[in-house]
Amino acid sequence: MYFAALLARTEDGWEASDTELDDVETLSDLTDLAREASVDEDTVLVFIEQEDAWFGVVRVDGEEDPRIFVSDATAAARSSYGEILLTDELLGREPGAEDTIAALEELVGLDGTEDGEPDITPDNDDDDELDADAVPAGPIGDTGILADLGLPEAELLMLRTDALVEIADALGAAEVLETVR
């Protein structure tokens, strides 16, 4: 089960709203959703959590590029919402490289076997999911994403369960987050 919320910073403090991610397919969609919740282009945080398996924080400050932190990239790679956060840039890959390699292999028929030799490679029906081997284990992204808001990098890296509650508490937004949880 997932939980997703937006925390928008205002001059009166933080405002929280529960958010549905059903129509969100890309990081750009998620960023647009966050910007819509922004008051005067202030900071907006998007929290996504999957039952103690992983959590992600996306920070959008006005028109700047979003900053992303994911607590466990391998676990997030097995999640449709996690895949949104695990961009090529975040993973240190050339944008679209995975698609290009797959297209070239299909075009030339590179399956690792000689003509007439049986293909003994295991079938992978999860072609649309990221390969877990290609994703680093553990945290990935901007560990300083919340440092200026009251949560130092070291503390962010130590969070495991109830992470979003602890983050909200450090930001002084625990009560507003709890209203949408």
Query: Where does the pLDDT of residue 6 fall: very low under 50, low under 70, confident under 90, or very high at 90 and above?
Result: very high
Residue 114 · residue 92 · CB < 8 Å? no
Tokens of 59: 């920070």
d(CA 158, CA 9): 24
Residue 76 · residue 54 · CB < 8 Å? yes
Asked if residue 88 has pLDDT above 50, the reply is: yes
- Mean pLDDT of all residues in 35-50: 90
Give pLDDT, residue 168: 94
Structure confidence by residue, pLDDT tens digits, 126-181: 444 444 447 888 999 999 999 999 999 999 999 987 899 999 999 999 999 999 98
Kindly report the average pLDDT of the chain as a whole number.
83
Asked if residue 58 has pLDDT above 80, the reply is: yes
Who has greater pLDDT, 132 or 8? 8
Q: Which amino acid is at 106?
A: E
- Mean pLDDT of all residues in 117-124: 52
Residue 12 · residue 43 · CB < 8 Å? no
